[in-house]
Amino acid sequence: MLKRYSIVNKLEGITLAFCSVYQIGDSQNIYAQSKAYAVQREKEFFRTSEGSFDSDVFTKPLELPPINPGIQVSRLNLCPIKVNSMFIRATSSSSIIHIGNTCNVYMDARVKNIRQLEHKEGEAPETIEEIEEPN
């Protein structure tokens, strides 16, 4: 990997959360993984432990495209990377703000969202996934 200067005058961010990164400069490998189980209810009700990461959303292997190592790229970057100012409102769930060179990047964010709405009179009940208590 060719080395290159990264010059940043100002980087301002409000929120950085859940396996996210601000990276200024070169990096060989970046690996970020985030799993989230989100339950939204129309009526407030909290359990101390609910839900499970055993769902297919979290356990199913990620299907990656084949990598063709036969591709060769040759570059000569004589000028440094220059950034005057960046403002980032939010970076979340296995994402990256990167200014520089990187060889290998693997990012994986898996989120299971569940909404539990109250049944209203006169409406047909919809199928609702039950949240099981862990054993």
pLDDT tens, 75-87? 777 888 999 999 9
Q: Is the pLDDT of residue 122 over 80?
A: no
Given pLDDT bands bounded at 50, 70 and 90, which one contains residue 43? confident
Q: Mean pLDDT in the chain? A: 81
Model pLDDT, residue 130:
55
Q: Which residue has the higher pLDDT, 27 or 117?
A: 27
What residues does each domain of the chain span? 6-62+78-116
Distance CA(62)–CA(108), nearest Å, equals 8
The stretch 102-124 carries a mean pLDDT of: 79
